[in-house]
């Protein structure tokens, strides 16, 4: 017993420092987060302007209709994703006012240059700050939606490979594989230790979650359509399954790399596959890659910042601080 007293005293001498640091981080978390976000955005913009972006813009002077169609397709992709995001929040009891959903959803794209999709935390923080939902509930919805997006990407890749052999079977596989895999995962989930479960396995079997998983491949297919529009006038004929396979493959690898926004990784993989698979002429590869990334990535980083600035103008709710608890 005598030996226990110094240990307790030593613990007491260390404990006061932790609450002070946590209190500081809690008070200034928004400023710290925005500083980090601005830093990684600056890094990404530096990488963007380091590339031959002037050539990419010149490439589009005679093909503005393709640029407009590509932006419309990707805008449709993000609109569908926003609806799925709102549906997933509702699963966890978070229901945003309809008029606030677009701005809050697009604010997450301000963090597109954060590694491993950490930009999703922006939406968690802002919803919690405004008192519209608990941070932990929003985070769970974001994690599941991110996982479903990856699952949908894998399903599209598998379906594309099946299309190369059995054309009629590829598309059904893309849409049926995610809910089937999710159903099986929900039963395996119950075997995990309680400490490893962020939510009950039954959540994965809810009709709303299964429906969202069934629709996630749509976004990947729309991305493939954008890539098809960009390269079809410059490349020799190619099988459709190849252009469907490419976007989910390099985007998932870019996310897994941990590089902010996948900058450099995505471009390298896309350029290599366009040369090897599509036989795109070397003179067009850099232009096609830059144009595709402009349509599907860089434009939306700017949109995300505008949305975030809009969301930050909305007042915080008095009860937002406790909502940070999960």
What residues does each domain of the chain span? 20-324
Tokens matching residue 210? 């299964």
Q: Which residue has the tokens 């985070």?
A: 139
- Asked if 224 contacts 246 with a C-beta cutoff of 8 angstroms, the reply is yes
Q: What is the pLDDT of residues 29-66, one digit of tens each?
A: 555 555 655 555 554 455 555 555 555 556 666 677 88
- Asked if 234 contacts 122 with a C-beta cutoff of 8 angstroms, the reply is no
- Asked if 293 contacts 265 with a C-beta cutoff of 8 angstroms, the reply is no
- Asked if 25 contacts 32 with a C-beta cutoff of 8 angstroms, the reply is yes
Reported residue count of the chain is 326
Distance CA 71, CA 62 (A): 16
- Asked if 104 contacts 112 with a C-beta cutoff of 8 angstroms, the reply is no
pLDDT of 4 > 50? The answer is no
Distance CA 130, CA 318 (A): 8
pLDDT of 322 > 50? The answer is no
Please give the span between the terminal C-alpha atoms of the chain, in angstroms, as a whole number: 37
Judged by DSSP in three states, 62 sits in coil
Q: Which residue has the higher pLDDT, 101 or 263?
A: 101
**Considering only CA atoms, which of 297, 116, 273, 169 is closest in space to residue 223?**
297
Position 208 scores a pLDDT of 95
CA 195 to chain centre: 26
pLDDT of 101 > 80? The answer is yes
Q: What is the pLDDT of residues 274-288, one digit of tens each?
A: 888 888 887 778 778
- The dihedral region occupied by 235, where left means phi > 0, alpha psi between -120 and 50, and beta the remainder, is beta
């Amino acid at each position: 017993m005598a030996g226990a007293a110094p240990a307790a005293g030593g613990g007491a001498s260390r404990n006061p420092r932790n609450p002070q640091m946590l209190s500081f981080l809690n008070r200034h978390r928004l400023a710290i987060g925005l500083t980090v976000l601005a830093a990684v955005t600056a890094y990404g913009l530096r990488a963007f302007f380091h590339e031959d972006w002037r050539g990419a813009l010149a490439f589009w002077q005679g093909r503005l209709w393709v640029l407009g169609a590509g932006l419309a397709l990707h805008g449709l992709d993000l609109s569908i994703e926003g609806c799925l995001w709102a549906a997933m929040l509702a699963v966890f009891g978070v229901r945003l006012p309809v008029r606030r959903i677009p701005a809050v959803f697009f604010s997450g794209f301000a963090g597109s240059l954060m590694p491993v999709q950490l930009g999703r935390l922006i939406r968690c923080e802002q919803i919690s700050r405004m008192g519209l939902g608990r941070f932990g509930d929003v985070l769970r919805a974001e994690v599941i939606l991110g996982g479903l997006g990856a699952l949908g990407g894998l399903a599209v890749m598998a379906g594309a490979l099946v299309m190369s052999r059995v054309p009629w079977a590829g598309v059904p596989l893309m849409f049926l594989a995610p809910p089937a895999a999710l159903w099986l995962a929900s039963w395996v989930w119950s075997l995990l230790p309680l400490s490893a479960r962020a939510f009950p396995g039954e959540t994965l079997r809810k009709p709303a979650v299964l429906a969202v998983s069934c629709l996630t491949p749509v976004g990947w297919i729309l991305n493939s359509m954008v890539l098809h529009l960009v390269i079809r006038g410059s490349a020799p004929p190619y099988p459709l399954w190849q252009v469907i396979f490419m976007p989910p493959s390099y985007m998932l690898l870019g996310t897994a790399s941990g590089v902010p926004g996948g900058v450099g990784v995505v471009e390298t993989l896309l350029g290599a596959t366009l040369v090897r698979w599509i036989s795109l002429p070397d003179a067009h590869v850099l232009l096609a890659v830059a144009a595709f990334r402009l349509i599907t990535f860089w434009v939306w980083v700017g949109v995300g910042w505008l949305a975030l600035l809009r969301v930050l103008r909305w007042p915080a709710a008095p009860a937002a601080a406790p909502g940070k608890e999960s």
